Amino acid sequence: MSTETHETSQRISGEPIPFAVEMRHITKTWPGIVADDDVSLQVRKGEILALVGENGAGKSTLMNILYGLLRPDSGEIFINGKHVQLHGPRDAIALGIGMVHQHFMLIPVLSVSENIVLGLEPVRPGDLYDDAAAAKAIRELSERYGLNIDPHARTGDLPVGLQQRVEILKVLYRGADILILDEPTAVLTPQETNDLFKVLRGLLQQGKTIIFITHKLREVLEISDSITVLRRGRVVGHLITKDTNEEEIARSMVGREVVLRVEKKPATPGPVALGVDDLTVKSERGLPAVRNLSFELHAGEILGIAGVEGNGQSELVEAVAGMRPAASGHIYLNGRDITALGARNVRDAGIAHIPEDRRSSGLILNYSIKDNTIFGRQRSGGFSWRSIVLRLAAILEWARRIISDFDVRPPQPDVPVRTLSGGNQQKVIIGRELLSQPTVLLASQPTRGVDIGAIEFIHSQLVAHRDAGAAILLVSAELEEIRSLSDRIAVMYEGRIVSFEPANAPEERLGLLMAGGGRQQEHLSA
């Protein structure tokens, strides 16, 4: 690491305090892609900068450069006014930069204290790891910053919110004054997010500087002092938080007006497409996850399933999709009993499925976009000869259609889907499922981890297919999404539908029902 004193422009212009972080003209290219193109940003000491942009805009790449994990092709970095060269995280750590990664950098089998001190361990003579000293140092840190944690707990046993606390302590233990947090709230519940924000405000009071990567607009407005917006690798705006609003940030991120509300006409429901009758489904552990559940879904209607995650929504969708056996009860598609058909036949019968976890059950990540667009339909006559030999030309044409209709980027049928951003991966799945003209679409968390431009697009596609007569069962953890898309809302709690609500039901009422309130009959039978 070489550092040289460099007068920053702020000093020249007479301002006494240099920026805590200043990145100038950073460019980083990957083969075929420019991740960051001449990006500059500044953060004042004691401030929170929100770095926003859609997936693939170059936020994480930029921060990995600041943390020394990646080397820029060109550009300069100044820390507290000093020009620095970063050859690895060690250099960044030495300069007081710490990073909390989106995917936690924690080792589940090690204790909390081992994880925190890793790389800077206290030792006794003979290289012996000094566990007592580590625990003591962590208790002191915990007290100073109000972050309670048991140093001897096994890290993998902690809930996600506490694991993130361990990550923050890890950074503070290294004496970081500049904290980079890469989408810290993506994995947190609303309550945990509030706790995190309290912690961050405390850190600011202690003089820390924070860079916060996110694409959740509400959080940007709540926590940040200033905002730098990236779009496709370029800085498209520096905003002052108190002078801006959600619409302006969204417009800046996406590059056009974004409709944050879903535009849709009233539904014109047709006959019943999907009937679920007295269905019981068991969970992985053999306990009933769905209990004697019944509902009817009409053609041309979106039925939203609201509920706190883990109340049987996943099992319900898997059972309808034929991926999980029903313990009892029946599922009907256009009046035909499909309860025991199995996933392949259910799909052939006309049920499409957007699974909740695209990486594990929606896509084969190492396969190309093209191959992923025919999964589940590879045996059909259009794509193969007698289910044996693939019709490559037809598959390519189909993939090209999905890519153009659903704006998948990059528009190259042969690239592995692993290299796509989350939003584009999701578009591949949604294109595949919607273009097959299903009678019923099961949409599980269709916009999870997807950026706002893509969310708007996915929502409009779902509504368009509803208008074309598809019956859509929408499951989402985002109450906002349920309320804006659904024509009717069913609230699930502990495996049962506790209430059917109209689309305009107040948020408070839905929240109460989701938490198990207002279900007198259930209490009697329980």
Partner 1 sequence: MNFLLTVLGLLVTGGFWQVAIQETALLLLPALGGVISERSGVVNIAMEGMMLAGAFAAVVCDLAWHNPWLAALAAILAGGFMALIHAVISIRFRADQIISGIAINIFAAGMTVFLLDKIYGVEGIGHVPPNFLLPTLNIPGLNQIPLLGQALFQQNIVVYIAIIVLILTNVVLFRTRLGLRLRAVGEHPQAADTAGINVYALRYGAVITSGLLSGLAGAFLSIGIVNTFVPNMTGGRGYIALAAMIFGKWTPLGATLACLIFGVGTAIYDSNSTLHFSPYLLNMLPYVLTIAVLAGLVGKSVPPAADGIPYEPGSH
Residues 407-436 that bind partner 1 (CB under 8 A): none
Please provide residue 75's backbone torsions phi and psi, each rounded to the nearest 5 degrees. 115, 165
Query: Among residues 119, 270, 271, 342, which is the contact residue for partner 1, using CB under 8 A?
Result: 119
Query: Among residues 13, 16, 109, 266, which is the contact residue for partner 1, using CB under 8 A?
Result: 109
Asked if 515 touches partner 1 (CB under 8 A), the answer is: no
Looking at 406-478, list the stretches that DSSP marks H as alpha helix, in order from N- to C-terminal side. 422-434, 452-467
Biggest alpha carbon–alpha carbon distance for the chain: 78
Q: How far is the CB of 126 from partner 1 (least distance, A)?
A: 7
Q: How far is the CB of 166 from partner 1 (least distance, A)?
A: 11
Residues 139-198 that bind partner 1 (CB under 8 A): 170
Q: Contact region for partner 1 (CB under 8 A) — 107-115, 144-152, 453-461, 490-498? A: 107-115
Strands of 226-231's sheet in order across: 97-100, 178-182, 209-214, 48-52, 226-231, 234-240
Residues 25-64 that bind partner 1 (CB under 8 A): 64
Q: How far is the CB of 134 from partner 1 (least distance, A)?
A: 10
Q: Nearer Cβ to partner 1, position 87 or 144?
A: 87
Asked if 360 touches partner 1 (CB under 8 A), the answer is: no
434 CB-near residues (< 8 Å, 6+ apart): 352, 441, 461, 465, 470
User: 315 - beta bridge partners?
Assistant: none
Query: Among residues 36, 114, 356, 456, which is the contact residue for partner 1, using CB under 8 A?
Result: 114
Q: Are 23 and 66 in contact (CB under 8 A)?
A: yes
Q: Nearer Cβ to partner 1, position 166 or 254?
A: 166
Q: Nearer Cβ to partner 1, position 211 or 463?
A: 211
Q: Nearer Cβ to partner 1, position 60 or 226?
A: 60
Q: Nearer Cβ to partner 1, position 117 or 455?
A: 117
Asked if 69 touches partner 1 (CB under 8 A), the answer is: yes
In angstroms, the Cα distances linking 505 to 28, 299, 300, 511 are 48, 22, 20, 10
- How far is it, in rounded angstroms, from Cα 16 to Cα 342? 70
Q: How far is the CB of 103 from partner 1 (least distance, A)?
A: 5
4 CB-near residues (< 8 Å, 6+ apart): 82, 83
Q: Nearer Cβ to partner 1, position 116 or 293?
A: 116
Question: Encoding tokens for residue 339?
Answer: 């309860």
Asked if 246 touches partner 1 (CB under 8 A), the answer is: no
Query: Among residues 103, 261, 386, 523, which is the contact residue for partner 1, using CB under 8 A?
Result: 103
Query: Among residues 29, 33, 83, 118, which is the contact residue for partner 1, using CB under 8 A?
Result: 118
267 CB-near residues (< 8 Å, 6+ apart): 300, 301, 302, 466, 487
In angstroms, the Cα distances linking 514 to 53, 285, 309, 404, 445 are 32, 23, 10, 39, 17
Q: Are 48 and 225 in contact (CB under 8 A)?
A: yes
- Of the candidates 166, 174, 202, the residue with the CA atom closest to the CA atom of residue 67: 174
Length of the chain: 526
Asked if 508 touches partner 1 (CB under 8 A), the answer is: no
Q: Contact region for partner 1 (CB under 8 A) — 43-51, 95-103, 202-210, 214-222? A: 95-103
Interaction site with partner 1 (CB under 8 A):
64, 67, 69-70, 88-90, 93, 99, 101, 103, 105-110, 114-115, 118-121, 123, 126-129, 170
